[in-house]
Amino acid sequence: MGSRRFSSGFTLIEILVVVSVMAIIVSIALLSLGVLGDDRQLREEARRVGSLLQAAQDEAVMQGREFGLEVMLESYRFVEYDPYELRWLELHTDDIFRYRKLPDNVEFDLLLEDKIVLLSLDAKAMDDEDDDSRDSNEAYAPHIMIFSSGESTPFELRVVNRALEQIVILEGDVLGQIEIMTVSEQADALR
């Protein structure tokens, strides 16, 4: 009679299957927690702002109007320059260019001319014709201006989730061209 060997260990295939299943479970858990840098929400917000800036640029060129974008820490709003009243006005009746708040845990950082702009939580007050107490040097002006010529203020707007240490950059040049990228993509472009 032939002798049979009984081993009490695991085969290499069984070990590989278990390790593979564990790796899949860990990957799914990391993706669901956003640990692997899931910046979809930030990219979506950057695309939304970029699309709105592009729409404002199109409106400015087609209608000969001047627009602006005021950026707050957790929100933004579009304004329009009224050449008859010689001041900026909020666009209350325009649903496209309405005031918008960012999702929870998402904030902006704004750089103009490579300098960080200190952003406030609330929108700045518009000029009031009846208020003579304001100095003329303190007149309201948006951070980013969109001119009827198609040009705009060059800027770098960072959409940031500080808790997850994620950043998506929205960069605009003087010709109104807008590009969305991550920090690593920006570093590669500068090389």
Evaluated on CA atoms 153, 56, 143, 127, the torsion sign reads: positive
What is the number of other CB atoms lying within 10 angstroms of the CB of residue 93?
Answer: 7
Contact status, residue 91 vs residue 97, Cβ threshold 8 Å: yes
| pLDDT of 92 strictly over 90 | no
List, for residues 137-149, the tens digit of each pLDDT value: 568 899 999 999 9
- Please check the confidence at residue 131 and state whether its pLDDT lies above 60: no
Give 125's pLDDT tier (boundaries 50, 70, 90): confident
Half-sphere exposure of residue 38, counting CA atoms within 13 Å on the CB side?
A: 10
| Of 150, 86, 153, nearest in space to 117 by CA | 153
Q: Smallest Cα–Cα separation from 123: which of 78, 171, 159?
A: 78
Which H/E stretch holds residue 87?
Answer: strand 87-90
Q: What is the pLDDT of residues 143-186, one digit of tens each?
A: 999 999 989 999 999 999 988 888 999 999 999 899 998 877 76
Strand partners, 107: 160
In the block, tokens 């627009």 appear at 67
Q: Is 75 helix (H, G, I), strand (E, B) or coil?
A: strand
Task: List pLDDT tens digits, range 21-41.
Answer: 888 888 777 666 554 455 788
List CB contacts of 5: < 8 A, sequence separation 6 or more.
none
Report field, pTM of the whole predicted structure over 0.75: no
d(CA 99, CA 76): 6
Domains and CATH numbers, the chain: 40-190 (3.55.40.10)
**CA 136 – CA 42 distance, rounded (Å):** 37
